[in-house]
Each structure stands twice: as structure tokens, then as C-alpha cells.
Amino acid sequence: MASDLWLAERTAVLETAQELARQGLVSGASGNVSLLIPGETPLLAITPSRRAYRSMTAADIPVIDFEGDPLYGELPPSSETMLHVAVYTARRDVRSVVHTHSVYASVCAVSNIAIPPVIDEVVVLVGGEVRVAPYQPPGSEELAQSACEALEGRSAALLSNHGLVAVGHDLDAAMDVAVLVERAAQICVMTKLLGTERLLPPEVISVEEGLYQMHRTMEENA
């Protein structure tokens, strides 16, 4: 296969995955990243299964169709490919999916604690409370469906006993959401320990939800 096929998309996925590792949101080969490649037949570039980010190259990033059939690359795609495809199918505004196992988001996921709107960015960039999708086996169709339901009207969802999935109109946006939710999760855990958790005022949440929906509508129509 020609080495320059979808090179820009594969390189962007690689750089995002390695940045996630640098920020401590994933470790080893955990988590996964994908980028939608629009077209008459939509494709996605996605991180491969069981390949450490530190040694990964753009040539390792497979490009597949929505059936999982490979168009580029020799490595198998992420075991969570079904999750990524389900999100792209359900959400016209999404062009990138990032799945992390970051510590504080995972603490909330394991504890079945949704991350409430304790800071403005959670509403403006995520859409409101980060819900917890009920546990389903990794890589399963049931997990994909559960995640999509928790993502309805949101840019992030916790996966019970698993981690976080963040989405965006491009890789930078999805990455920003993943970083934000990890920070919000840390704030949530710390304030619960202190017993001083205070949510944003309802009227503020209402205005910021409107901003989120406006931005999402613009992305759907872009």
C-alpha cells in the first residue's frame, strides 16, 4: 500500500494518542483515538490494538470502513472499534472520538458517580453533567450502545468500571474535552472529600446549555 495514503489523518491520530500519553490520560496501549474520514463511503483512522503509543508510528495507524474492513495498515484496529463506529453513526456533529483511562475519571466511573456541573466548562464544552453509562463488556456492541445513550446531548460520558469517552468536531476538540473532564473529575472527587460540593446556579446552567446546543448545531451543519 502507498505509504502516503491518508497520511495527514493517520499522523493526526498518532499525535493525539501520544499527547494523551504525555498528559497521563492513557498508559501503555490503553485507550484509543479515531478520526472520521468523510466521503461517500465514510472511513476512520484509528489507533491499533495492543501497540504502545511511545513506539507507534503513522504507518501503524490502520484505516478501516464502518464494517471494520481494512483499507490501509497491517495491524488490527482497536478492540473498541465498534464503539467509535457507533458514535459516528449516531452523531453527525462528531468527527473524532477519544477514549481514555485517566485516573480521576475512572474513579468516578468505578464509583458510578456522574460528574456534575461544578465548573462552567463542563456545561459549555460538554453539555452538562457527565453521565455514567452502565457497565458492558469492553469491545461489545452493548458497550457501544450504552455509550451512545450516555453521550446523547453531551460531548463526554463515563463508562462504568472502565474509563471515559470524549467526542468532538476534530481531534483537538475531543482532546480538550478529555482533559477538561479529567480536571472536573478531580475537582468532583476532592470536593466530595471536603464535603463542600456546590453546583452552578440553575439559571447559569440553562444559559450555558443553550450555548452548547448552539455550537453543536453549527457543527452538525458545517
Catalytic residues: 80
Cell triple for residue 178?
478529555
Instruction: Let me know how long the chain is.
Output: 222
Among residues 30, 25, 29, which one has the least CA distance to residue 175?
25
Please say whether the beta carbons of 16 and 25 come within 8 A: no
CA torsion through residues 148, 150, 156, 161, sign: negative
Among residues 158, 156, 159, which one has the least CA distance to residue 167?
156
CA distance 119 to 98: 22
Residue 44: beta bridge partners? 36, 64
Grid look-up 455550537 returns 215
Q: Output phi, psi for 206, to 5 deg.
A: -60, -45
Among residues 214, 156, 205, which one has the least CA distance to residue 185?
156
